[in-house]
Amino acid sequence: QVQLVESGGGLVQAGGSLRLSCAASGRTFSISSSPMGWFRQAPGKEREFVAAMSWSSISTYYTDSVKGRFTISRDNAKNMVYLQMNSLKLEDTAVYYCAASSSHFYSGGYYSQPNRYDYWGQGTQVTVSS
C-alpha cells in the first residue's frame, strides 16, 4: 500500500512563501520511478493541476498561473517531493494534494490530468491572506 502525506501548509500573507512536502511510503514504492504531481482545490472549484515532475526529474510542468513562482523538486533518497511556493497570491488559497503514478507517462499532456495518478495524499491547507 502506498501512502502520501503532505505537510507544510499554513497561513501566509500575500507575497510570502511556503514549502510543501510530500512523504511517500510503501513496501515496494519509490518515487524515483514515479511521475509526481501537485494539485490543488479551492472551495467550490474543481481540483486543478499545479506542478509535476517526470520520474527522471528531467522534465517539469507547471500551470501558467504559478510559473516563475512555484518550483517542484524531489529527493529520491528520502522518498520526498517538495513544492516551493514564492510570491504567494490570494488566489493560491486551496487544499494542496500530492499525487503519484505507478507508471511512467509517455506524453507531456498526461501530467496535468488527475485521473492519470494512482495515489493521492490527504491534502494540506494553504491560506493566503491580504
Question: Is the per-residue pLDDT at 108 higher than 90?
Answer: no
pLDDT digits (tens, 9 = 90+) for 45-72: 999 999 999 988 889 999 999 999 999 9
**pLDDT above 90: residue 125:** yes
State residue 95's pLDDT score: 98
Is residue 126 within 8 A of residue 94, CB to CB? The reply is yes
**Distances 50 to 13, 38, 77 between C-alpha atoms, Å:** 20, 5, 24
